[in-house]
A and B are shown apart, each in its own frame.
Chain A
Amino acid sequence: MAGFTTQQLVLVQAGVAGKPYDIGTGYFVTPDLVLTASHIVPEQALTSLDVRTELDGQWHPAQLQPVWRSSTLDAVLLRTLKPLAEIPHITWVESDFDDDATWQSSAYPDAGKVDQDGKPAWKSVGLSGKLYAHGGGGQGLKELELTVEAPPPDAEKWKGVSGAPIFVNEKLAGLIKEASRSFRGRFAGVPATMLWQNHGFLVAMSPPWLDPLPQGIWVLVVISEAEKQTSQLADWVDRSLENDDKAIKSALRVKVEPKALRVCIADALESPGKWLRFVSALCTAPIAIFDATGFEAGVMLALGVRAVVRRGVTLTSTAEALSPTELSKLPFNIQETKLLYHGSSMYLPNDVRHPKNRIAAAIKKGWQELDSQPNYLDLPAYDAVRCPYPTADADDHQSAITRPLVLCSFGEDHEPNWKHLANALAIRYDVDAARMLDVASPRLVGQALYEGIRWAQTCVVDWTGWRANVFFELGVRLTCADIGPVCLIERGAAESAVKDDTVAQRRQLMALFGPTPYLLGKGDHGIKDALLIHDAILNQRPPPLAVTQLPHDATFRTCQDRFEWKREHITIEPHELLRLSIEAPFGKDPQAAGFKPLLFSSNPDYSKDYDRSVKDRWIAAWCYLVQRYPESHWEQDADFRRTLQKLGNDVLQFGLKEPLNEDHLKKLSEQIYEVIDKLDELDKLDDRARQRTVQGPGHADAN
């Protein structure tokens, strides 16, 4: 263990126009990342950011935009433009202190400032003192409470000490954030354990991977661990993208990146940082294809995440050709999906069932349907987890919120585990825990299940049996709830997973999510311990974790940062929402089809009434948009003019079709024609102005 080194200590200097520099202390925690306090790096109007290494006195410029910042924790990570050659490995404190300890550091407080040829110069000042194991708790965020030896008489003289590293027994325990004004000679520090609970910090500290993600339309292929060496899925995807390039472009209306981004699930599960970077890819990939061969736990977990964060296009494929009997035995969550087959041995390349043909066709069809159907889904859960807060039964003891939900195997061999778990939960909670089998609601299983997964305050996941369904549902819970699940596994299953050399992902999953082992029978403390941790999380005091473990809410928070919120229906403007509500059933040109797509639409009374409703929606869309902005806006914004003109034409054609039998509708129709004519005139004026700009000034006086 290297402990504190002067090689990594830096003076941080942040420049803001018209103000003196902000000075603080920082510490290189990787060759190019400096950890310091957030308050010494202003969030706005920053003009320069430099760090001066203590060892050689060299100044190193840093990117003005920090790679990570938490104003709540008061910590920030700065990236220097040029990394240091090498730095000693840092060991972090990963647990709370049981006893008081001695800490040490070095910093650049004003107390150490000297005058050098009329300019200020900061001398490093060695610091040490006592860290109180039982201080820094109480209300608000957990802090480190430190005393410091030989404090200056004036607390103001500590200015510049912020950001200094706190070392205890050669391990980095946190950073100093402020000197106490109430107690002379005391500091408050940010615990390192709190930093590692932050998903953004985890990602920033992890080595670059899948970075940067492609832009535009691209395909993510998730390869199973067993198929890592032999899977042809990604090859077939690349082949499809290459061979069917034009047809795919024609269907998608944009070009697709010609090479898919390949990720083996075992690589994604290697560390918390990699998992979170992979989650970002799951959020942003416009098209994702999963190799579900063998329904591996890691792949199912990733599918669960994807199912919540993105409304398609997601394809699920297997290398094993499945018979109808085998298909009927598939995991419940997979049975609803259209499973592709990517083994190539069964068909000739020119066969439409061959993977290279099937994949291209599925991409095209999926994209077209996603584009035309607002409620397109190719995985379960997306709409179901967006269910409202179940207020109707919120006070009921059996509500989806208060009732602990257990996600586990329903197999007969798991029955003893369920009974053991149900009894352990009954000791702790007033309400009986329930599996989906035990819920009395007559609602569709899928709806009730995902509502529970989203809203249950306590969601227990029993990993025993490594069931595909359970891991899909675990992925859903991790993504849609800010309180992570209580993960448990029977001790025997846990030991087998750790010993098994053939499947790395089970070990990786255990390391990443840390399910608590429990013992069947008497003398088991596992479930009780796991519930205590869960209580601490509910009380916003999550216990420290090893740096190799994923915080309970990191997947949720990453998805919250990265999901494509523009695709969520709630952000749609009213006129677009009304348009979509018509186009979803009737298509973009309801006159072209020649048939009425609504069920029972030949019923004349029904037909008449929905026709009225559709027309009124067109009118409502127009009334909204034409009134929404002042007319001066029409002149300035050509895109808006196009939108308004298109809407006007659609309203006239589909909502106010002549002959009209109500006078005020005739008047409205005339008004729309007038607006369309006006917009036409504005377009012409715009075109003429543009032409004049292109031609430049006249040449009348050129001679």
Chain B
Amino acid sequence: MPTPIERIRELKTGAKNQRDRGAKGYPRALSMLKEAISIAQADLDVSTVAERRSQLASELSDCYGLVGGVERRWADESKDDERVLHLKASIRAYDDGFKFESDPQYGIIDSYNRLNRVLVRLLLRPDALAADDAAVFDPDIPPVNLRHELEQTSDVIRRQLAGSRRGNYWALADLALVEVLLDRSPATVAYADFIALSPPDFAYVSALAGLSPLAKLPIPSASSVGEAVALLEDRLNRLRS
């Protein structure tokens, strides 16, 4: 019998595969992640060992992030109300993941949910990037000032990169995306450190999955985002040639 952590990881991998199947696999991916979340939450509720609690919280943060990712992709393939429904489900999942990710008691050093909870809000309200106010959605979705949140995210990732995430290609990809989105750097400059690490192909695929929908949005940095997409696609093709 696998341990709870092993079972959670198996379910996560299975869910990623179902997600990669496209629309056919989304329901199964979500049900697998739901099972993983329930195992992790049940274990966290009874665990008193700090190390174990951190491990479980990290798994929960990751599982919620995966749910957010599945819902976002589902939204990409949907239209109108259904798209909105899936994007809101995605925001809720990333927000849930962010609760664990940002809780200091668990000591999780990551930026996955922090960044994506902003990006999905942006997909739903592209105008909010230039607005001074917080973007408001449903009552159960906390309002967030997107530009301010992205600037904060940039600061947080920079601190992480100076510390335990030094040389982490996920962190570098997240930071580059924020820099491009805020129009602070051209794509080649923003992604230089990421590319210099010769990251594996799946890191390119994942970075592109985050960038591509943003390139279609009516936002001031759309062309920079488009350049970033072209740059990463070119690199990925070279890697796979």
A contact set with B: CB distance below 8 Å: 246-247, 250-251, 253, 588-592, 594-596, 601-604, 607-608, 611, 642, 645-646, 649-650, 652-653, 657-659, 661, 673, 676
Known: A246-B49, A673-B21. A594 touches B170 (CB 8 A): yes
Chain A residues with Cβ below 8 Å from B167 are 595
Q: A645–B7 Cα gap in the complex (Å)?
A: 12
Q: Do the beta carbons of B49 and A646 come within 8 Å of each other?
A: no
Q: B165 — which chain A residues lie within 8 A by C-beta? A: 594
- In whole angstroms, how far apart are the Cα atoms of A250 and B240 in the complex? 41
Q: Which of B80-111 contact A (CB under 8 A)?
A: none
Instruction: Please report the C-alpha to C-alpha distance between residue A489 and residue B20 in the assembled complex, in whole angstroms.
Output: 71
> Are the C-beta atoms of B9 and A588 separated by less than 8 Å?
yes
Q: Given A604-B198, A611-B200, A658 and B20 touching (CB < 8 A)? A: yes
Q: Is residue B52 within 8 Å, beta carbon to beta carbon, of the partner chain?
A: yes
B10:A595 contact, CB within 8 angstroms? no
Measured CA separation A603–B202 after assembly (Å): 17
Interface bits B41-71 vs A (CB < 8 Å: 1, else 0): 0000001110110000000001000000000
Complex contact B21–A595 (CB within 8 A): no
In the bound complex, residues from chain A placing their C-beta under 8 Å from that of B62 are: 592
Contact between B197 and A602, CB atoms less than 8 A apart: yes
* A250 B51 Cβ-Cβ under 8 A: yes
Residue of A nearest to B16 (CB): A653
Sorting the interface of chain B by its residue count into under 10, 10 to 19, 20 to 34 or 35 or more gives 20 to 34
Can you name 5 A-B pairs with beta carbons within 8 Å?
A247-B51, A250-B52, A591-B202, A594-B168, A602-B197
**Given A251-B51, A594-B168, A657-B205, A649:B17 Cβ within 8 A:** yes
Partner of B10, one of A250, A251, A649: A649
Residues of A within 8 A of B48 (CB): 246
With A646-B10, A658-B20 as known contacts, state yes or no: A594 contacts B51, CB within 8 Å. Answer: no
- Chain B interface mostly helix, strand, loop or mixed? helix
Main secondary structure of the interface of A (DSSP, over half): helix
CB neighbours (8 Å) of A645 from chain B are 14
Tell me which residues from 1 to 43 in chain B have a Cβ below 8 Å from any Cβ of chain A: 2-3, 9-10, 13-14, 16-17, 20-21
Complex contacts, A246 vs chain B, CB 8 Å: 48-49
Contact of A657 among B3, B49, B198, B202 (CB under 8 A): B202
Contacts of B3 in A (CB 8 A): 253
Q: Are A653 and B13 closer than 8 Å at their CB atoms?
A: yes
Q: Which residue of A lies closest to B171 (CB)?
A: A594
B192 to chain A, nearest CB (A): 13
- The answer on a CB contact under 8 Å between B9 and A652 is no
List residues of chain B with CB within 8 A of the CB of A676. Answer: 14, 17
Contact of B201 with A611 in the complex, beta carbons under 8 Å: yes
The residue of chain B having its C-beta at the shortest distance from the C-beta of A249 within the complex is B49
Distance (whole angstroms) from the CB of A495 to the closest CB of chain B: 56
CA distance A462 to B239 in the complex (A): 61
Report B-chain residues with C-beta under 8 Å of the C-beta of A251: 51
Q: List residues 169-193 of chain B with CB under 8 A from any CB of chain A.
A: 169-171
> Given the complex of chains A and B, what is the CA–CA distance between A680 and B134 in angstroms?
45
Cβ of B196 < 8 Å from any Cβ of A?
yes
- What B residues does A602 contact at CB under 8 A? 196-198
Name which of B200, B202, B239 has the most chain A CB atoms within 10 A of its CB: B200
Which residues of chain B are within 8 angstroms of A590 by Cβ–Cβ distance? Answer: 200
A597–B3 CA distance with the chains assembled, in angstroms: 26
Q: Hey, which chain B residues are within 8 Å of A589, CB to CB? A: 9, 13
Query: Given A589-B9, A594-B165, A608-B239, do A652 and B197 touch, yes or no (CB 8 Å)?
Result: no
Is B168 touching A603 in the complex (CB atoms < 8 A)?
no
The CA of A558 and the CA of B49, in the complex, are separated in Å by 40
Task: Name which residue of chain A comes closest to B196, CB basis.
Answer: A602
User: Interface centre among B10, B14, B17, by most A CB within 10 Å?
Assistant: B17
A251 to B55, CA, bound (A): 11
Give A650's nearest chain B residue, CB to CB: B13
**Shortest distance in angstroms between B201's beta carbon and chain A's nearest beta carbon?**
7
Q: Which interface residue of A594, A596, A649, A659 has the most chain B CB atoms within 10 A? A: A594
Query: Which residue of chain B lies nearest to A602 when distances are taken between CB atoms in the complex?
Result: B198
Which residue of chain B lies nearest to A610 when distances are taken between CB atoms in the complex?
A: B200
CB of B137, distance to nearest CB on chain A (Å)? 30
Lowest 6 A-B CB distances belong to which pairs?
A594-B168, A594-B170, A607-B198, A250-B52, A652-B17, A604-B198
> Which residues 190-241 of B have a CB within 8 angstroms of A?
196-202, 205, 239-240
Knowing A246-B48, A611-B201, the reply to whether A595 touches B168 (Cβ < 8 A) is: yes
Highest count of chain A CB atoms <10 Å: which of B3, B13, B170, B205: B13
- In the complex, which residue of chain B has the Cβ closest to the Cβ of A590? B200
Q: Are A653 and B51 in contact (CB under 8 A)?
A: no
A645 to B169 alpha-carbon distance, docked (Å): 29
